[in-house]
Structure 1
Amino acid sequence: MIEFENLEEKQISTKEIYDGYILHVAVDEVELPNGNRSSREYVTHLGAVGIVPVTDDGEVIIEHQFRYPLHRVITEIPAGKLDSASEAPLDAAKRELLEETGIEADEWIDLGEYHPAAAYCSEKLTLYLARGLHAGDQKLDRDEFLNIEKVPMQDVIDDVLSGKITDGKTVCAVLRAAVHLGYLVKK
Structure 2
Amino acid sequence: MTDFEVLGQVEHFKGRMFDVVTDEVRMPGGGVAKRDYMRHVGAVGVVAVDEEGRVLLVRQYRHPVAKVLWELPAGLIDVPGEPLVDAAARELAEEADLVAANYALLVDLNPSPGCSDERIRLFLARGLSAVPESERHVRTDEEAGMTTHWIDLDEACAMALSGEITNGACLAGVLAAARARDLDWKPLRAV
Q: Using structure 2 for the length normalisation, give the TM-score.
A: 0.89
Deviation at 1:8?
3.3
Q: 1:61 aligns with which of 31, 56, 61?
A: 56
1:86 aligns with: 81
| SS in structure 1 at match of 2:9 | strand
Partner Cα separation in structure 2 for residue 179 and residue 164 of structure 1: 19
Conserved? CA contact 1:13–1:29, under 8 Å: yes
RMSD, aligned CA: 1.7
- Give the count of matched residue pairs: 179
Partner Cα separation in structure 2 for residue 17 and residue 73 of structure 1: 30
What is the CA deviation profile of residues 26-83 of structure 1, one whole-angstrom value per residue up to 9, with x for unaligned ones? 0111100111000010101111011110111111111001110111111111110111
Identity of aligned residues (%): 34
Partner Cα separation in structure 2 for residue 183 and residue 134 of structure 1: 25
| Amino acid across the alignment from 2:136 | Q
Gap runs ≥5 in structure 2: 185-191
- Structure 2 residue 14 is matched with structure 1 residue 22: no
| Amino acid across the alignment from 2:43 | A
Q: 1:97 aligns with which of 88, 92, 95?
A: 92
| Amino acid across the alignment from 2:29 | N
Deviation at 1:140?
4.2
Conserved? CA contact 1:100–1:138, under 8 Å: no
Q: Which has the higher helix share?
A: 2
1:3 aligns with: none
Q: 2:46 aligns with which of 34, 51, 62?
A: 51
- Structure 2 residue 174 is matched with structure 1 residue 174: yes
Judged with a 3 Å threshold, the aligned counterparts in structure 2 of structure 1 residues 141 and 27 are, in CA distance, closer, same or farther, namely: farther
Gap runs ≥5 in structure 1: 1-5
